[in-house]
Amino acid sequence: MGFIPYGRQTVTEDDIKAVVEVLRSDYLTQGQVGLDFEAGAAKFLHAPYALSCNSATSGLYMAYAALGFGKGDVLWTVPITFVATSNMALALGGEVDFVDIDPQTFCLGIKALEEKLKAAKTKGRLPKIVAPVHFAGQPCDMQALRKLSDEYGFFIVEDASHAFGATYNGSSIGACEFCDIAVFSFHPVKIITTGEGGLVTTRKKDLADKMAAVKSHGVTKDAGVFTKPADGPWVYEQQSLGFNFRMTDFQAALGLSQMKGIEQNIKRRRQVAATYHEQLKGLPIKWQLPIAGADSSWHLFVVTCDDNSQRLGLFNHLRANNIGAQVHYIPVHTQPYYRSLGFVPGMFPCAEDYYSRCVSIPMYHGLKPEEQEYVIKTIRSFF
């Protein structure tokens, strides 16, 4: 059996055909296929507005910027995420703090958040944005989060990088029923891929317009919003500072083609999870506890061991048997860069304890039944 990674893309002949078709066309970027991808994603997610971009990292930046986040503002997220969630707040000149995770769901701890908000209110230092992470594809407790956001007045940006195809209370993550903006990633290890790529969704037109400006140089071609009469039909106005965060049309073509298989993709991932739950029962390992109302898209499947040395043993045993175990994630606040900002180990004990015991095992829709069987056999042989 070949190497089995923790996650990987599936690219079909149809996907390749769709990409090649764009490469042979007149528009490699900013053409119809890019618009079709956004429209297709908006439809699938039931999102009024969807904008593609060149990564979830750019998408997070667009989201935070559109909400007016900057110098003097604070963003809160969890330590168990990829560094981009908090980095983009720092890139905008703001500050970052963390909320500990729930030790059972591995997602943002609602109790921890509530306590931290109470304390922050007395200090007059409430966050402008809270960015929950739908860890492994499992939506956070969004109703509880929405209630706290209404009470304390912060915006919610969902880092939904893992959660394309996940639902909460029957509503798609990305429909933004409980948040201001949701951000998705299409990196090859995620649910579907465009190579590099991302997507932001919102229900609010003003936020969509602001994100579009950040994505493309702060430039508009909409004569209706020009500050003065146009000299001619060629005129565009730069009204704010922006970047080039655009996705190419051949990436959009890949995304559009990948989206055709999304139902099967998620169904297969849920099957893989159910098989792990069934076949790993009775071993001294635990896994993510479901949150009420959440239906995961299963980007990752994480198991936790009793302690660090057992985890290291399991990790090495899997690697020695050609299984690409991985650890998600090193708590962000313990990274050297964050240490230089004043964070120290011990600040978020649930996240740190989780990190010392977790391993991600293979989870992707292209995982063959015999491969999963081999993974299960290998884990059982370790114990």
**9, 52, 55, 77: residue in contact with ligand PLP (rule CB under 6 A):** 55
CB of 231 to ligand PLP, least distance (A): 39
**3-state class (DSSP) for residue 183:** strand
In sequence order, which residues have a C-beta less than 8 Å from that of residue 116 and are 6 or more positions away? 76, 97, 99
Instruction: Decide: is 84 part of the binding site for ligand PLP (CB under 6 A).
Output: yes
Q: In the complex with ligand PLP, which residue's Cβ is closer, 138 or 161?
A: 161
Site string for ligand PLP, 157-176 (x = CB under 6 A): --x-xx--------------
Instruction: Decide: is 85 part of the binding site for ligand PLP (CB under 6 A).
Output: yes
In angstroms, the CA 359 to CA 377 distance is 16
- Decide if 267 contacts 141 (C-beta within 8 A): no
Q: In the complex with ligand PLP, which residue's Cβ is closer, 113 or 280?
A: 113
Q: In the complex with ligand PLP, which residue's Cβ is closer, 220 or 326?
A: 326
Site string for ligand PLP, 196-225 (x = CB under 6 A): --x---------------------------
In this chain, which stretch among 13-21, 53-61, 100-108, 351-359 interacts with ligand PLP, using CB under 6 A? 53-61
CB of 338 to ligand PLP, least distance (A): 15
Q: In the complex with ligand PLP, which residue's Cβ is closer, 34 or 198?
A: 198
- Decide if 59 contacts 199 (C-beta within 8 A): yes
Q: In the complex with ligand PLP, which residue's Cβ is closer, 57 or 296?
A: 57
* Tokens of residue 108, six digits: 């943002």
Q: In the complex with ligand PLP, which residue's Cβ is closer, 348 or 379?
A: 348
CB of 209 to ligand PLP, least distance (A): 23
Residue identified by tokens 């180990």 is 345
Instruction: Decide: is 82 part of the binding site for ligand PLP (CB under 6 A).
Output: yes
CB of 269 to ligand PLP, least distance (A): 15
Instruction: Decide: is 138 part of the binding site for ligand PLP (CB under 6 A).
Output: no
Instruction: Decide: is 40 part of the binding site for ligand PLP (CB under 6 A).
Output: no
**How many C-beta atoms surround the C-beta of residue 123 within 10 A?**
7
Site string for ligand PLP, 276-295 (x = CB under 6 A): --------------------
CB of 195 to ligand PLP, least distance (A): 10
Instruction: Decide: is 185 part of the binding site for ligand PLP (CB under 6 A).
Output: yes
**8, 116, 187, 333: residue in contact with ligand PLP (rule CB under 6 A):** 187
107-136: which residues touch ligand PLP (CB under 6 A)? 133
Q: Which ranges of 280-341 does DSSP label H, i.e. alpha helix?
A: 308-320, 336-339
Instruction: Decide: is 56 part of the binding site for ligand PLP (CB under 6 A).
Output: yes
CB of 84 to ligand PLP, least distance (A): 4
Q: In the complex with ligand PLP, which residue's Cβ is closer, 216 or 326?
A: 326
The DSSP symbol for 189 reads T
**3-state class (DSSP) for residue 157:** strand
Instruction: Decide: is 81 part of the binding site for ligand PLP (CB under 6 A).
Output: yes
Binding site for ligand PLP (CB under 6 A): 55-57, 81-82, 84-85, 133, 159, 161-162, 185, 187, 198
